[in-house]
Amino acid sequence: MAAVLKNNIRNTDVLSRWGGDEFLILLSHTSVDEGEKIAEKLRQFVDKTSIQIKDTEIMITASFGVAVLTGNEEYSYEEAYKNADSALYQAKQNGRNRVEVFVVG
């Protein structure tokens, strides 16, 4: 999974493992619309990926939550993470294997 994500992000993006089955990707200089498109592209790459364990092929899916850090000093990285996590939770609630965007307001 990490390799699929890493091989399909831009050189300026930062990928890190964030817990057992979660990853965090920081997309610099990216609007929310661009972030949503990138997340959807990554979701599609993951959706085409499988793992072979002995005689069993396991298909992989991923849900993505997208939020924007606007540069507003009152809006912290922690708040952006919480918003992305909220969008991720919504993606899982809405059926998984999808992208959801946190909308402010």
Q: Which of 21, 33, 55, 85 is catalytic?
A: 21
**How far apart (Å, rounded) are the C-alpha atoms in residues 86 and 45?**
23
Q: Is 21 a catalytic residue?
A: yes
Residue 50: how many other CB atoms lie within 10 Å: 11
* Backbone phi, psi, residue 85, to 5°: -65, -40
State whether the Cα torsion 41-47-66-96 is positive or negative.
positive
Catalytic residues: 21
